Amino acid sequence: MADNPAAFPDAAPEVPDASSVERAFLRRPSIGIRARLALGFLSFIVFAVAVTVGAWIMLSRLERRLRFLEVADRYTMEIQQARRFEKNYFLYGGNLQDVQEHIANARRLLVAVAPDAAEVVASAELGKMRDHLGRYETLIARLVARDGAHASADRAERPAIEAELRDHGSQMVAFALELAEKERASVNATLALFKRLPVAFLAFLLMFSVVVANFLARQIVGPLSRLMATTQRIAGGDFTPLMPLRWYRDEFSTFSVALNTMMRELARRQEVLVQSHKLSAIGTLTSGVAHELNNPINNITLTAEMLKEDYGSLADEERLDMVNDLVVQGARAQKIVRNLLDFAREGEITTERLDLVEVLRQAASLAANQIKLSGAKIAIDVPSNLPAIHGDRQSLSQVFVNLLLNALDAVGKGGHVSIAAGTSREPGYVQVVVSDDGRGIPAHVLPKVFDPFFTTKSRGKGTGLGLSVSLGIVRQHGGDIRVESAPGRGSTFTVLLPAAMVPGLTENDAQATRPSASKPSRPV
């Protein structure tokens, strides 16, 4: 249970180490954007070459089919001419040499078209054509031989030859016409396919453009958006390093490593600025602390002198009372010093669940002596049911101490400073409002008050880092600082901090935790 982070909803997420993040980037294989784009366009070129080669092959086949169709038409015409002279022979006793001439032409056509016919028609169909043609030619040769014998052969043979000639002739014509019609349909189908091919290529080109656009969006625009969001996060004071999201490394990975290095350096310099301002605040607080320490030290000195001078004449009970007085005054001085040391101590930022009232109490305690010295009047109003927050106690205490010291500087002796806390109008936030009735800030200066090293105080009295560092701390906590001011009307600084959400809290419960006018405020 102790190793389960879900068991502790208030625990802060672990910030990855910068060196481990950089190693995680560099361990990934390098696949650059240019290489991926080159691969994509190479794929397109390969596809275009494949389409071109396919179109060339189809055109070659279409050319062979057209040649075969032309030969088939001529072959059909030669067969039909041979049949016509054959009929004249049987009807009118014509010459069979014309028949043999057309049959010889048909055979030459079959021989010439044989290379193309092997890829266009089946060998069985081509064999049938040769068989019918050979048989027809044999029968014609028998008739020629019979005529040369001057009817010496049996007259009964002629009807049988005539019937067989008609059978093979009709089959040759029908087969040739059927084959020509089939090839014509095939040629028309190929031409229709060629008509659809440009449309298909355009459709593929459109799909490829969509894929390339999506690739650019995912591979380039996506990382760019992430980097832009990171720059906005950096502007808000969040220096959490970028983690690798892909299994490979590209130019954006190199840029992310450089960005992480920049954020690491910015975080280091931010810490230096925070500590510089803290030292400045300590210097301001020291005068009040010295004044406050003077009282217990004087009491200790006077009591010790009295105890030394009158030790012999004092009763044991009186001595014990004086010793107890020394102890009380020493503890008082120790507490004052300890509070100042706690404020000045350097340490890592640790996020924990905080009671905002306790943070304000700590800030007021640190500035108590300065409040007394300034002579200003402080009014503090904090609801008793203020939601908790998540944050670093020391950093947030520094923010409120700085705002309080600035307000005291602005009002001077007899001025009024108020601190009010409550839920913000923005859902999920609590606010602390620090107001004063001091001299106010001119409108042309107001946009610059959060700039580093900008100050309206006299030389040697301010570093110009207080508000800048405070804004950085609050933004690191996911909040913001807003200011309203006008000359002669004082200034109001509003610190917004995210409220700690309680797991399982319903909207009605959230409403119940909000401050109500009927509930008393907690004193700070």
Do residue 163 and residue 293 come from a single domain?
A: no
pLDDT at 344: 55
pLDDT at 431: 92
| CA-to-CA dists, residue 49 to 42, 52, 55, 56, 59, angstroms | 10, 5, 10, 10, 15
Query: Are the beta carbons of 331 and 296 closer than 8 angstroms?
Result: no
Q: Does residue 1 belong to any structural domain of this protein?
A: no
Domain boundary among 133, 167, 196: 196
**DSSP code per residue over 255-294:** HHHHHHHHHHHHHHHHHHHHHHHHHHHHHHHHHHHHHHHH
The boundaries of the domain holding residue 489 are 268-522
Which tokens hold the place of 468?
């800048």
Residue type, 54: G
Q: Does residue 18 belong to any structural domain of this protein?
A: no
Do residue 67 and residue 173 come from a single domain?
A: yes
Name the nearest CA neighbour of 374 among 247, 288, 436: 288
32, burial (CB in 10 Å: exposed 0-12, middle 13-18, buried 19+): middle
| CA-to-CA dists, residue 179 to 10, 128, 173, 174, 175, angstroms | 86, 12, 10, 8, 6
- CATH code, domain carrying 327: 3.30.565.10
Query: Are the beta carbons of 495 and 403 closer than 8 angstroms?
Result: yes
Do residue 275 and residue 179 come from a single domain?
A: no
What distance in Å separates the CA atoms of residue 347 and residue 369, rounded to the nearest whole number? 25
Do residue 293 and residue 399 come from a single domain?
A: yes
Q: Does residue 342 belong to any structural domain of this protein?
A: yes
- What's the domain count of the chain? 2
Q: Does residue 75 belong to any structural domain of this protein?
A: yes
| Alpha-carbon radius of gyration of the chain | 52
pLDDT at 471: 84
- CATH code, domain carrying 77: 1.20.120
Strands 521-522 and 377-383: antiparallel
Q: Does residue 333 belong to any structural domain of this protein?
A: yes
**DSSP code per residue over 237-251:** T--PPPPP-SSSB-H
Do residue 275 and residue 168 come from a single domain?
A: no
User: E strand or H helix at 106, and its extent?
Assistant: helix 97-120
Neighbours of 230 (CB within 10 A): 19
Which tokens hold the place of 294?
């003077």
| CA-to-CA dists, residue 430 to 11, 405, 433, angstroms | 20, 22, 10
Domain boundary among 196, 227, 244: 196
Do residue 484 and residue 356 come from a single domain?
A: yes
Q: Does residue 406 belong to any structural domain of this protein?
A: yes
Length of the chain: 524
What distance in Å separates the CA atoms of residue 28 and residue 37, rounded to the nearest whole number? 19
What distance in Å separates the CA atoms of residue 142 and residue 148, rounded to the nearest whole number? 10
Residue type, 179: L
Domain boundary among 196, 223, 243: 196
**CA 91, 96, 101, 103 torsion: positive or negative?**
positive
Do residue 308 and residue 190 come from a single domain?
A: no
pLDDT at 2: 38
pLDDT at 43: 81
What is the reported pTM? Answer: 0.44
Q: Does residue 461 belong to any structural domain of this protein?
A: yes
pLDDT at 511: 42
Strands 491-498 and 429-436: antiparallel
Which tokens hold the place of 450?
């959060």
Would you call 384 helix, strand, or coil by DSSP?
coil
Do residue 311 and residue 188 come from a single domain?
A: no
Phi, psi of 486 (to 5 degrees): -150, 145
Angle (deg, nearest 10), helices 251-309 and 316-344: 160
What distance in Å separates the CA atoms of residue 55 and residue 371, rounded to the nearest whole number? 92
Query: Are the beta carbons of 441 and 403 closer than 8 angstroms?
Result: no
Neighbours of 393 (CB within 10 A): 17
pLDDT at 150: 53
Residues of the chain with pLDDT under 70: 1-23, 25-26, 30-32, 116-121, 147-156, 273-292, 295, 335-336, 338-349, 452-454, 456-465, 501-524
Do residue 89 and residue 175 come from a single domain?
A: yes
Q: Does residue 210 belong to any structural domain of this protein?
A: no
Do residue 294 and residue 403 come from a single domain?
A: yes
Do residue 176 and residue 285 come from a single domain?
A: no
Do residue 148 and residue 292 come from a single domain?
A: no
pLDDT at 473: 83
What distance in Å separates the CA atoms of residue 429 and residue 391, rounded to the nearest whole number? 13
pLDDT at 287: 59
What distance in Å separates the CA atoms of residue 312 and residue 245, rounded to the nearest whole number? 81
pLDDT at 434: 93
